[in-house]
Structure 1
Amino acid sequence: MNFAFDDDTEDMREAVERFARRDLADPPPDGALDPAEFRRRWQLAGKQGVVGSVVPERYGGSGLDAVTAAAVMEALGYGCPDTGFAFSVAAHLFAAVMPIAEFGTEEQKRRWLPALCSGERIAAHGITEPDAGSDTLALRTRAVRDGDSYVLDGAKAFTTNAPVADVFVVQAATAPGGGFFGLTAFVVEADTPGLSVGPPYDKVGLRGSPTADVRLDGCVVPANAVLGAEGAGASVFAGSMKWERTCLFAAYLGAMRRVLESTVAYAGQREQFGVPIGGFQAVSHRVVDMTLAVESARLLLYRAAWGLARGSEDEVAPALAKLAVSEAAVRVGLDAVQLRGALGVLSGEAETLLRDALPSRIFSGTNEIQKNNIARALGLGGSRRGTRR
């Protein structure tokens, strides 16, 4: 049992922190989307090797394992005050690029992965729908075989990176009512006729991550756009969720560590009644509780990453990691605001962390669904219909 990174991982983590502080320090004002500026920052992250970190080297990635990839994402979250941008990088990599790397044909990998790893192209994953969130087998988007093509019709919601994406991994029902084997994943280019993207959402948090609806109206894709095989969509999705629930949330560890450090510094400088507020037990104990939340979540996340790097099929560890990190992020955000008093509700990193943390309890499968999945793995309750996120 070793809780220290090896020298190469430590060097990589420090390099990403320096890069993020130097090149990603200024988030867009009010989260306003400037596609050109977003892509400029994205290409810088690509040159740093961040957007393709876990893809095998022969396809343009860095070939990192899950532990090192989590360390890189933690460093990005620490150095980049725009957690939304870090979230977009992680969603691109773990929810869209890794499915291509793990389930794609050799032709698909060579066609898509190099540009997705270099930062030249951006990927998005379309699965959530207005009426299908946690119950992913209830998708209404349909894919009908027509000779050597498929025709896709439907709508996706809450699609991260949709306004800037060049490539979409889209889940659709090829056998409606077919259960686990009724879904199929497709790789669809953004300029495919019939695919359209709505305006970016105005969100409470993660404002630096462009998100929008996607419509598919008679969108024709070739049969070789199928990812994996027809009917393998649920397996593709489950594979991406193991990566996402583990490595994506490492960005929140970095953001929490950054805010915790500044909170400790503030408590040591801010004086009331002639002494620094950090000398008051109510304040110091709250900071200790913040530290406990961050460090506990960090251990669970890296334990899940350790298992993923070794090919573990355990679904409990990623679910526990997602729960721990998201709940810790909300708590640390609340405490950071409280300890700053009135300054905490002004624009700054404390309120930003809190706003960015709120969605983390919902995406990648709500925390309630994670608890259901863990309980089921423990043998509690009967089986339920559907695949839950």
Structure 2
Amino acid sequence: MDFDPTPEQRERVDRVTEHVRNGLAGTPPRSPDEPLTRDEWRTMAEAGLTGACLPASVGGGGLGALDTALLLEAAGAACDHGGLPFAVAAHLLACGVPLRDFGRGDAVDDLLRGMASGEVVAGNAVTEDGAGSDVNAMAATAERDSGGYVLNGTKSFVSNAPEADVLVTYAVTDASAGFLGITAFAVPRGTPGITVGPTLRKTGLHACPAARVTFTDCRVPGSLRLGAEGQGGAVFQFSMAWERACLPAVYLGSMEDQLGRTAAHVRGRRQFGRSLGGFQAVSHRVAAMRQRLDAARLLLYRACWLLDRGRPEADTAIAMSKVAVTEAAVANGLDALQLFGASGYLTETGVEQRLRDALPGTLVSGTSEIQREVIARGEGL
């Protein structure tokens, strides 16, 4: 068992860290009305993030899950806010992975090539107001038409929707078939019948814009179907394994940056004649932050390693790592805010932003409760 990254991994991580940090230097705190910009997206693309796990044949990095997670972790540490690397992760994992493994033909290759270069931004349209975690309850439909399908329905909380050039969406093609009645599609933004609603005002992750998307008699050619008809449930599960394994790495990076800033603050801040770090109540809280972070990191690396090897225990490991990382991000965010005191509550310090960005982590890509169900099933319960 070797815990040292390879020289190649170190080089990639260092390159991403330097490029992202320099490219986004001086970015001010974000408001809910300030989503990502194309210049910021270009910075992430130039760092190799938007195509990290996409095939080299379309300009991607051809990386596996663990190496992809390492780059997302580096981006999470280099960015002052979590929204932009989160947006990249949604683009890459929830959208790029299903196109990579289930798409066929020139049209799909063109989309992948654009996604890898950063010219194409992808959004994942699966969640519905009436379905939530119950994907089998989705109401959007896709009916066969000459040469393709006609989509109807509304998706909510579509990450990147306001900026997306392509939407990976799922719809019911056979209502009587349950899990086997869902089909996946890649739908270009310019397709007639797509309406993107206003940007949703979220508590955090502001640079990752989200909106509702409505499909009204939207005709999609069969060439843009992902996988076979009725395979959408399996396509979704496969892409979610990658997203649940790799996306939380963004939080590992943000927690590492957060912990470094917090430790520096309590060393330098003096109260009652000595540094805050000299008080056991403070030093033990910092120690707990380090323990949560390192434990979560080990679980995530192991989960990605198992995913790369196609091991059957990967599903349980991924569920454990997602719970550990996202709940640690919230707990560490609360501790950092407490240790910074009143200054941590000011938006200009960025301390409260790390906490706000962490809050949705326990909800997206399957709630903590859903992950614990997966873990319980792994124990035969």
How many Å apart are 1:28 and its aligned residue? Answer: 5.4
Aligned position for 2:257: 258
Partner of 2:3 in structure 1?
3
Question: What residue number does 2:337 align with?
Answer: 337
Following the alignment from structure 1 to structure 2, what is the Cα–Cα distance between the partners of residues 30 and 311? 39
Q: Quick one: distance in 2 between partners of 1:259 and 1:349? A: 9
Q: Which residue of 1 aligns with 2:60?
A: 61
Shift of 1:343: 1.2
Contact 1:27 / 1:82 at 8 angstroms: preserved in 2? no
2:99 equivalent in structure 1: 100
For 2:130 and 2:105, how far apart are their aligned partners in 1? 35
SS of the counterpart of 2:80?
coil
Instruction: Quote the Cα distance in structure 2 between the aligned partners of 1:299 and 1:290.
Output: 15
Q: Distance in 2 between matches of 1:225 and 1:50?
A: 24
Shift of 1:106: 3.8
1:242 & 1:27 partners in 2: Cα distance?
32
Q: Structure 1: how far apart are the matches of 2:99 and 2:234?
A: 12
Whole-angstrom CA distance in 2 between matches of 1:136 and 1:216 = 18
For residues 294-333 of structure 1, the aligned pairs below 5 Å read 294-313=293-312, 314-333=314-333
Q: Deviations over 1:124-161 (max 9, x none)?
A: 11000010111000010000002212110000000000
The number of equivalent residue pairs is: 379
Structure 2 stretches lacking a partner, 5+ long: none
Deviation readout 1:38-71 (Å, 9 max, x if unpaired)? 1111122112211000111012101112111111
- How many angstroms does 1:312 deviate by? 2.4
Q: In the alignment, what sits opposite 2:69?
A: 70
- Superposition deviation, residue 109 in structure 1: 3.7
Cα deviation digits, residues 228-253 of structure 1 (max 9, x gap): 11001011101111111111110100
Q: Is the 8 A contact 1:55 1:63 kept in 2?
A: yes
Partner of 1:351: 352
Q: Percent identity?
A: 46
- Quote the residue 2:366 is aligned against: 365
Residue 231 of structure 1 aligns to a residue in which SS?
coil
1:32 shift after superposition: 5.0
Q: CA 1:265–1:28 in 2, change beyond 3 Å: closer, same or farther?
A: closer
Task: Please say if 1:270 is aligned against 2:269.
Answer: yes
Q: Distance in 1 between matches of 2:176 and 2:78?
A: 46
Once the two structures are superposed, what CA deviation does each residue of 1:331-359 show, in whole Å capped at 9, x if it has no partner? Answer: 00000000111112111232111101110
Q: Distance in 2 between matches of 1:156 and 1:270?
A: 48
1:87 aligns with 2:86: yes
Larger deviation: 107-116 or 213-222?
Answer: 107-116
Change (3 A) 1:26 1:86: farther
Superposed, 1:83-162 pairs within 5 Å as 83-162=82-161
Partner of 1:387: none
* Pairwise CA distance, 1:194: 0.6
TM-superposition CA deviations, 1:268-300 (whole Å, max 9, x none): 000001100100000000000000000000000
Q: Tell me, what secondary structure is at the counterpart of 1:17?
A: helix
Change (3 A) 1:26 1:363: farther
Say what the alpha-carbon RMSD is for the aligned residues: 1.3
Match of 1:14, as an amino acid? D
TM-score normalised by length of structure 1: 0.95
Runs (4 or more) in structure 1 with deviation over 4 Å come to 32-35
SS at match of 1:150: strand
Partner residue in 1 for 2:19: 19
Contact 1:56 1:63 in 2 (8 A): yes
Contact 1:85 1:209 in 2 (8 A): yes
For the Cα contact (< 8 Å) 1:152–1:218, is it kept in 2? yes
After TM superposition, the score normalised by the length of structure 2 is 0.97
Partner residue, 1:385:
none
Residues 153, 219 of structure 1: 8 Å contact kept? yes
* CA shift for structure 1 position 34: 5.5
Q: Does the 8 A contact of 1:59 with 1:109 survive in 2?
A: no
Distance 2:127 2:172 in 1: 13
Aligned to 2:217, the other structure's residue is in SS state strand
Structure 2 partner of 1:383:
none
Q: Which amino acid aligns with 1:200?
A: T
Question: Structure 1 residue 242 and structure 2 residue 246: aligned?
Answer: no
Report deviation, 1:318: 0.9
- Give the match's secondary structure for 1:315: helix
Q: State how far apart, in whole Å, the 1-side matches of 2:34 and 2:354 are.
A: 22
Note if contact 1:28-1:208 (Cα within 8 Å) is conserved in structure 2.
no
Instruction: After TM superposition, give the deviation of residue 31 of structure 1 in Å.
Output: 2.8
Contact 2:103 / 2:224 at 8 angstroms: preserved in 1?
A: no
Contact 2:170 2:182 in 1 (8 A): yes
Task: Quote the Cα distance in structure 1 between the aligned partners of 2:42 and 2:221.
Answer: 29
Q: Which runs of 5+ in 1 are unaligned?
A: 381-389
Task: Say which SS state the counterpart of residue 186 (structure 2) adopts.
Answer: strand
Aligned counterpart, 1:289? 288
